[in-house]
Structure 1
Amino acid sequence: MELKIRNFGPIKKADIDFGHLTFLIGPQASGKSLSLELLKLIIDKQHIISTLRNYNYILSKTDARNILEWYFGEGLSALFKEETQISWTDNLFTPQDLLKTISRQKASEVQKESVFYVPAQRILSISDGRPKNFMEYDVSNPYVLRRFSETLRIFMQGGLGNPDTIFPMRNRLKGSIRKSIKDTIFHDGKVVLDKTGEQRKMKLEIDEMRIPFMAWSAGQKEFMPLLLAIYCLSGPPTQVINKSDYQWVIIEEPEMGLHPRAIQSVLLEIIELVQSGYRVVVSTHSVTFLEFVWAFKNLQSLSDEDFKAAMCEIFDIRTSTTAANLFDRLKEKTIKTFYSAEQFSENGVTFADISSLDAFSENTNISEWGGLSSFAGKSSDIVSRYGK
């Protein structure tokens, strides 16, 4: 499944052939989020249009700039230029496809959503301790944030069974992963729903205190909406969110605010999503994810038993636990990595496939993992020369 982009916003050229798990790396403002938002727009255009209609957005049937601004954000319809060319699985996509969808779709039709999108701005979805309604945001916020927040709101209202405690929950995470999150992120604290005010809001209960959301650590605040997203996609089925509708999961910068050990806990959840049949795409600035990909590729030729044992050792998981089953047949999956700044110039960004992560490659984008390992390599070289 390949997304081809030419001359879209800052992106000059991108050919992204997605694996079962795909990582996008690169500097800020190099087109990672735009390429992923574009992917969702192409796949979920019918659902997006029906959602905007449901919230009484005025959609023009003659000017695609209208819906592009409702989706990408105010003023961003100019991402599409005269020379823009986009194709998905060899089918061309243009803004005219959105107008055709608007014309053909009945206003009462309920469309399924295929892409579950966890945006980088996810902390805004629960900034006061409870998920916000879609219409609480203005059009300067991208659609993916508004939709994500609304999904969490619906899920918390009707998909969790009205619990007092939303972490830890036994039926939502494997025991080893739950313990890892508890140890590395919440440190024996419980996330509870406080019902003393006008609205139920999340608070962190620890050492006989109930701490409001905005007083949590940065990592805890960043992780909580991601945890709720994982709840939506795993655990028992619910009537409000049909997890079987989703085929893709996009997660932007899941490492934000987290210690490397906590990032490993998140990585285990990402692996579980892949093993559950979702195609997962992650944009990241964390070397931890690339270290996993490098290890995966170097261990992939092992026997099933040895591969599983090696993975368990990497993640400090006992082979006798149910969490160890996460690695069953994992080595048969395809993991891809793309770097979004091969040629970062006034002409735009070119995406490069660096999936081999070969440390001996003559291409420094590959050998230095898109720049994520360059500082460590440079430091080691300098220490070896000056430390003699």
Structure 2
Amino acid sequence: MDIVQNDIIKVKNFGPIREVNVELGDLTVLIGAQASGKSLFLQMFKLIKDRVAIQKSLENYGFVVNNKLENLLNRYLGEGLSNMWTEESEFILNGSIYTRECFERLPKGNPADKVFYIPAQRILSIADGRPKYFMEFSENDPFVLRKFSDTLRLLVQNGLGDSGVLFPLPNRLKSTIKSMYDKAIFHGGRIVFDEKGGQRKIAMDVENMHLPLMTWSAGQKEFMPLLMAFYCLSGPPQPVVNRKQYEYIILEEPEMGLHPLAIQTIILQMIEFIHAGHKVVVSTHSPILLEFVWAYNYLRNVPEDGRVKALREIFDIRITKKDRHGFLNDIYEKNIKTYYFSRNRYGKVEAKDISSLDVYSDDVAINEWGGLTQFSSRINDVVSKYMAEYGE
């Protein structure tokens, strides 16, 4: 997969977004409070990159678009959301302006999607223990969730073979990552399919118990659609998803419901995707991913042998002859960007490049990592203050 340049996307005056200008690296991290425009920005990036494939997909499912922007946005973002577009709305990708006419006059052809989108609402895709069909969702649910769920459905039906086992699977994930998922999330559990009423539903065999999905921990349930998405993008070729077609993997809020050890393993999974030639864009409310980026910024100045060894120590990976030249080795050649999405005093969303994550910066957005370390810093200051005043 040849990716020769960073995409630069600019969004102005769309819904709550006043102006967002983002250069996407090999790994791009978006942070910001809830309702700060991150998901809207990411969905519109996919719409620009995949607009032809998206419209054809909608029409194949029986939706009426008729090359009208309002129809496209209502079907894509959710019913009624087309009014976010105004005459002042502006989308620019690598210098090319995408006007109303660009969305309404689509070029011919049948291109494949370039962006694999893993949405924040992914648990809804397996709410009753099986991936839902595209048309089982309501008209208010975004396209990215419906498409994601339908992709998982096809994976379960046609992409995993007949073993009846979902985890662990041989050759689908790197052995190091697979064992870490087991240690952090499943604890020896075996994920299987129950065949009932002609449908495959997810269950777990663990400690002589057979547990349906609804009895699992919140983190285990949240992780399952992530795991199936990772299967789509890893391992040997399978008939459902051609992972080589994807330039980008968008991953929203991977930390939901997960222990820090599990989040660390997902960071390793993202590094593996980057090693395989994809670019990864992730939105998060967790400081753990930024702790990795902060360490990366410093360690890239260390000689090669030391900086790779440092990463292995950070992720507690044992060095073996087999993977001495494994997927961690080239991460320091990659470009990592971090952006902070926030609302200005008028309530409109703007974005700031805080990629340095310099804790000594005079810019509060940078030294507090977009607010993710604000509370812990305040705790330290308050405790230090009162211990100095009243402590022995």
TM-score w.r.t. length of structure 1: 0.95
Counterpart secondary structure, 1:326: coil
Match of 1:327 in 2: 328
Provide the rounded CA distance (Å) in 1 between the counterparts of 2:356 and 2:31.
14
Match of 1:362 in 2: 362
Provide the rounded CA distance (Å) in 1 between the counterparts of 2:240 and 2:266.
25
Match of 1:173 in 2: 173
Q: Measured at CA, do residues 386 and 131 of structure 1 come closer, stay the same or move farther in structure 2, by a change above 3 Å? A: same
Among 18, 26, 46, the residue aligned to 1:12: 18
1:197-220 CA-to-partner distances (Å, cap 9, x unmatched) read 431111011122221112211111
Bigger Cα displacement from structure 2, 302-311 vs 314-323: 314-323
Contact kept in structure 2, 1:340 and 1:352, CA below 8 Å:
yes
Contact kept in structure 2, 1:204 and 1:213, CA below 8 Å:
yes
Q: Measured at CA, do residues 51 and 323 of structure 1 come closer, stay the same or move farther in structure 2, by a change above 3 Å? A: farther
Match of 2:283 in 1: 283
The 5-angstrom pairing of residues 159-308 of structure 1 reads 159-308=159-308
Q: Measured at CA, do residues 152 and 192 of structure 1 come closer, stay the same or move farther in structure 2, by a change above 3 Å? A: same
Provide the rounded CA distance (Å) in 2 between the counterparts of 1:68 and 1:196.
38
Provide the rounded CA distance (Å) in 2 between the counterparts of 1:385 and 1:321.
51
Correspondence 1:340 to 2:352: no
The 5-angstrom pairing of residues 17-56 of structure 1 reads 17-56=23-62
Which residue identity does 1:263 align to in structure 2? Answer: I
Provide the rounded CA distance (Å) in 2 between the counterparts of 1:332 and 1:99.
39
Among 72, 81, 86, the residue aligned to 1:81: 86
Contact kept in structure 2, 1:174 and 1:323, CA below 8 Å:
no
Deviation at 1:196, TM superposition (A): 4.1
Runs of 4+ residues deviating >4 angstroms? 321-324
Q: Percent identity?
A: 46
Contact kept in structure 2, 1:304 and 1:329, CA below 8 Å:
no
Contact kept in structure 2, 1:26 and 1:339, CA below 8 Å:
yes
1:243-300 CA-to-partner distances (Å, cap 9, x unmatched) read 1111100000000000111100111101101111101000000100000000000000
Correspondence 1:68 to 2:73: yes
Contact kept in structure 1, 2:151 and 2:240, CA below 8 Å:
no
Provide the rounded CA distance (Å) in 2 between the counterparts of 1:359 and 1:98.
42
Deviation at 1:321, TM superposition (A): 6.3
Provide the rounded CA distance (Å) in 1 between the counterparts of 2:305 and 2:212.
46
Provide the rounded CA distance (Å) in 2 between the counterparts of 1:323 and 1:292.
21
1:111-153 CA-to-partner distances (Å, cap 9, x unmatched) read 3111000000000111111111111112100000000011111
Provide the rounded CA distance (Å) in 2 between the counterparts of 1:58 and 1:112.
21
Which residue identity does 2:339 align to in structure 1? Answer: F
Question: How many positions carry a matched residue from both structures?
Answer: 381
Match of 1:129 in 2: 129
1:33-82 CA-to-partner distances (Å, cap 9, x unmatched) read 00000000000001101101111111123x31011100000110011112
Deviation at 1:346, TM superposition (A): 2.7
Bigger Cα displacement from structure 2, 120-129 vs 320-329: 320-329
Deviation at 1:319, TM superposition (A): 1.9
Counterpart secondary structure, 2:157: helix
Match of 1:309 in 2: 309
Provide the rounded CA distance (Å) in 2 between the counterparts of 1:364 and 1:319.
39
Deviation at 1:323, TM superposition (A): 5.9
Counterpart secondary structure, 1:351: strand
Provide the rounded CA distance (Å) in 2 between the counterparts of 1:225 and 1:323.
28
| Structure 1 unaligned regions, length at least 5 | none
Provide the rounded CA distance (Å) in 1 between the counterparts of 2:82 and 2:63.
16
RMSD of Structure 2 on Structure 1 (CA): 1.3
Which residue identity does 1:67 align to in structure 2? Answer: L
Deviation at 1:374, TM superposition (A): 1.0
Deviation at 1:347, TM superposition (A): 4.4
Q: Measured at CA, do residues 60 and 225 of structure 1 come closer, stay the same or move farther in structure 2, by a change above 3 Å? A: same
Counterpart secondary structure, 2:162: coil
Provide the rounded CA distance (Å) in 2 between the counterparts of 1:322 and 1:25.
36
